Amino acid sequence: MAPVRRKRRKDFDLDLTLRRRFGKCSFRPLQREVITTALDGEDVFLQAATSFGKSLCYQLPAVVDYGITIVISPLLSLMNNQVAALQAAGIEVGCLNSTTSRDVKTELISDLQTGHPHTRLLYVTPEYTTLDYFRRILRTIHMQCELSRIAIDEAHCISEWGHDFRPAFKALSFFKTEFPDVPMICLTATATAEVREDIITVLGLDPRKLKIYTMTTARPNLHYEVRFKTDDQDHYNDFLKWLKAVHNRRRSCPERNAQLTQVNERVDNVCGIIYTLFRKDCESLAARLCGDGIGAKPYHAGLENSQKNDHLAGWVANKQGYDVIVATTAFGMGIDKENVRFVVHWQIPKSFEGFYQEAGRAGRDGKASLCIMYYSREDRDRSIQMLSKDQAKQAANKHGSFHMSEQAMNRAKSLQALIAYCENTGACRHHLICQYFGEEIVPECDYACDWHKDKRALERAKKEGLASEDWCSTQRDSGAYAVDEYE
């Protein structure tokens, strides 16, 4: 028997809640509209740039509305980061995943089993929602009319057409099948039109009733640069020189020193992330930086949970020795720290979307921040090799090989687009990114990319910095770019 539907309230004081509970002065453009639509009980699809403030669009409704909001989130680091921020704001939030301690889990589950939980937001992985006992609990809460809303963060993970596809995300179709009256809100920064369609179909959302909000992907305060290199060059020195120069500039300015102390930062607390594709690079690069006096810590899926938590917490708290995180993609989507001044890709990432997501960790306070990608044709060829290897593996897998090969094809398209972005010295980087995501109107770039800063220098750097195609093709033929697994 379906529970009686609740009458939705309309008299919320959203501004008061925004100020009191979330400590923000005013809504950003479109946030109020999305929140009001969600509170009206509509299904919502929100696509907006990294750092737009998408989380508030389900967190605020969860605080003012009745019952509990279930938030499905793909990465443990992301989940823990968000839960810690909400707890600090005194919001009743819980999280169930493999890192939750037994005591916390027991307490949380007994709260949920009452059917009238005090918990307003519950973060779970998509895998968790497939567990029978968890589904039973959801049914109990629903019967009590306390299941307020389902929020699907990083919704692009649903689509095999997108990057970061997670099979467990497909199981989320369960929610609309079982609880058709419970509104859903899907959020992502990276979905092409194809991916968007796919998400809607998989989740069983009715496109005629769904409210879709799409905003630009542009991040005008991010300065995008591609730095060209070859295998013969150790780009470590290039990076270190740049970072030390920033430290020195800060040190030589007493006013800047005083400003930094006021906001709990140090001269050498130039907070950043370096992304590498391989776990072993995380460790060795972090150690090398420490040897040169830079506080750096590794972060990858192979570390103990206690170590990962320590590195993340230290970095978030601007602790000395934790200024730079050297990470694999395990530290990607959704991580929110406002003063990240740089994101470096140590080599070309696996996809265009991955690049945009990871670069999007920078400058979340709206201040200028640098995104450097080190690009070599040798790394390009290694990435293509890895992709073909994955494709071959998937084709050998007899289950659903047709779909998997479609997914692999899309990954290949995305990587090719990223290669074209790196090789392009004739257009604005912001323009190229918006173009990839299908946007027609591209915001102005205010000298915030290598092309706008110096077109000639960029062209020259490419000419002098990359290995020739002839050389690469000889190397490819001799099998020089064969690599092991990613991560």
> Which residues in this chain contact ligand ATP in the complex, by CB under 6 A?
24, 27-28, 31, 48, 50-56, 189, 334, 336, 338, 360, 364
In the bound state with ligand ATP, the residue whose beta carbon lies nearer, of 437 and 451, is 437
Q: Is 474 exposed, middle or buried (0-12, 13-18, 19+ CB in 10 A)?
A: exposed
Output the smallest distance, CB 90 to ligand ATP, in A: 15
In the bound state with ligand ATP, the residue whose beta carbon lies nearer, of 52 and 169, is 52
Task: Please report where in the chains the tokens 């005008």 appear, as a residue.
Answer: 220
Quick check: 416 and 383 in contact, CB under 8 A? Answer: no
Quick check: 38 and 61 in contact, CB under 8 A? Answer: yes
In the bound state with ligand ATP, the residue whose beta carbon lies nearer, of 48 and 270, is 48
3-state secondary structure of 372: strand
Output the smallest distance, CB 459 to ligand ATP, in A: 32
Output the smallest distance, CB 317 to ligand ATP, in A: 15
Tally Cβ neighbours within 10 Å of residue 13: 10
Tally Cβ neighbours within 10 Å of residue 401: 12
d(CA 369, CA 454): 18
In the bound state with ligand ATP, the residue whose beta carbon lies nearer, of 64 and 189, is 189
Encoding tokens for residue 382? Answer: 């290694």
Helix (H) or strand (E) holding 250: helix 236-251
In the bound state with ligand ATP, the residue whose beta carbon lies nearer, of 125 and 376, is 125
Output the smallest distance, CB 23 to ligand ATP, in A: 8
3-state secondary structure of 187: strand
Output the smallest distance, CB 446 to ligand ATP, in A: 21
3-state secondary structure of 70: strand
Rg (CA), the chain: 23
In the bound state with ligand ATP, the residue whose beta carbon lies nearer, of 26 and 98, is 26
Q: Is 455 exposed, middle or buried (0-12, 13-18, 19+ CB in 10 A)?
A: middle
Picking from 120, 176, 108, 123, the residue whose alpha carbon sits closest to that of residue 148 is: 120
In the bound state with ligand ATP, the residue whose beta carbon lies nearer, of 338 and 485, is 338
Picking from 117, 168, 186, 171, the residue whose alpha carbon sits closest to that of residue 147 is: 117
Output the smallest distance, CB 236 to ligand ATP, in A: 28
DSSP character for 449? B
Find the residue with minimal CB distance to ligand ATP: 53
In the bound state with ligand ATP, the residue whose beta carbon lies nearer, of 52 and 228, is 52
d(CA 328, CA 234): 20
3-state secondary structure of 91: coil
Encoding tokens for residue 16? Answer: 């008061």
In the bound state with ligand ATP, the residue whose beta carbon lies nearer, of 229 and 430, is 430
In the bound state with ligand ATP, the residue whose beta carbon lies nearer, of 187 and 285, is 187
Output the smallest distance, CB 271 to ligand ATP, in A: 14
Output the smallest distance, CB 59 to ligand ATP, in A: 8
d(CA 255, CA 249): 11
3-state secondary structure of 95: strand
Beta-strand (E) ranges in 66-202?
Answer: 68-72, 93-96, 121-124, 147-152, 184-188
Output the smallest distance, CB 368 to ligand ATP, in A: 16
Output the smallest distance, CB 181 to ligand ATP, in A: 26
Distance from the first to the final alpha carbon of the chain:
48
In the bound state with ligand ATP, the residue whose beta carbon lies nearer, of 138 and 333, is 333
Residue 326 pairs in a beta bridge with 274, 298
- Tell me the residue type at 392: A
In the bound state with ligand ATP, the residue whose beta carbon lies nearer, of 28 and 256, is 28
Output the smallest distance, CB 298 to ligand ATP, in A: 22
Output the smallest distance, CB 334 to ligand ATP, in A: 4
Question: In angstroms, how far apart are the furthest CA atoms of the chain?
Answer: 71
